[in-house]
Amino acid sequence: MQPYDIAIIGGGIVGLSTAWQLTQKYPEKSVLLIEKEGDFGLHQTGHNSGVIHAGVYYQPGSLKARFCREGAAATKSFCREHDIPFEECGKLLVATNKVELQRMHALAERCQQNDIAIEVLTQQQLQEREPNIEGLGAIFVTATGIVNYQKICQKLAQLFKQHGGTLLTDNEVIDLNETDDRLQIHTVHKKTNAHVFESQFLIACAGLMADRTAAMLGIKTDFKIVPFRGEYYQLPKKHNQIVNHLIYPIPDPDLPFLGVHLTRMIDGSVTVGPNAVQGWKREGYGKININLKDIWDMVTFSGFWKLLKTYWKTGLKETRNSWWKSGYLQEVRKYCQHISLSDLEPYPAGIRAQAVMKDGSLVHDFLFTKTARSLHVCNAPSPAATSAFPIGKHIIEQLDDLMHHTENSNNTI
Ligand X SMILES: Cc1cc2nc3c(=O)[nH]c(=O)nc-3n(C[C@H](O)[C@H](O)[C@H](O)COP(=O)(O)OP(=O)(O)OC[C@H]3O[C@@H](n4cnc5c(N)ncnc54)[C@H](O)[C@@H]3O)c2cc1C
Q: Measured from the CB of residue 150, what is the shortest distance to ligand X in angstroms?
A: 10
- Report the residue number, 50 or 165, with the smaller CB distance to ligand X: 50
Q: Rounded to the nearest 5°, which phi and psi values hold at 20?
A: -65, -40
**Cα 274 to Cα 126: distance, rounded to the nearest angstrom:** 23
Cα distances (angstroms) measured from residue 44 to each of 48, 226, 397: 6, 13, 25
Please list every residue from 37 through 56 that binds ligand X, using CB under 6 A: 37, 41-45, 47-51, 53
Out of 7, 8, 13, 95, the residue judged to bind ligand X by CB under 6 A: 13
Burial status of residue 161 (CB atoms within 10 A of its CB: 0-12, 13-18, 19 or more): middle
Nearest alpha-carbon partner for 157 in 372, 288, 8, 274:
8
Q: Measured from the CB of residue 385, what is the shortest distance to ligand X in angstroms?
A: 3
Q: Reduce the DSSP state of residue 185 to 3 states and report it.
A: strand
**Residue 35 interacts with ligand X (CB under 6 A): yes or no:** yes
CB 92 within 8 A of CB 264: no
> Edge-to-edge, what's the strand order for the sheet holding 86-87?
51-52, 145-147, 86-87
Q: Measured from the CB of residue 411, what is the shortest distance to ligand X in angstroms?
A: 33
Out of 3, 90, 383, 390, the residue judged to bind ligand X by CB under 6 A: 383
- Report the residue number, 219 or 384, with the smaller CB distance to ligand X: 384
Q: Measured from the CB of residue 171, what is the shortest distance to ligand X in angstroms?
A: 7
Of how many residues is the chain composed? 413
Window of 112-120, 192-200, 320-328, 348-356 that interacts with ligand X by CB under 6 A: 348-356
**Residue 205 interacts with ligand X (CB under 6 A): yes or no:** yes
Q: Give strand ranges (E) for 190-282.
A: 193-204, 223-234, 246-249, 261-264, 270-273, 277-278
Q: Measured from the CB of residue 9, what is the shortest distance to ligand X in angstroms?
A: 5
Window of 19-27, 31-39, 103-111, 397-405 that interacts with ligand X by CB under 6 A: 31-39
Footprint on this chain of ligand X (rule: CB under 6 A): 9-15, 34-37, 41-45, 47-51, 53, 172-173, 205-209, 213, 230, 274, 350-352, 380-386
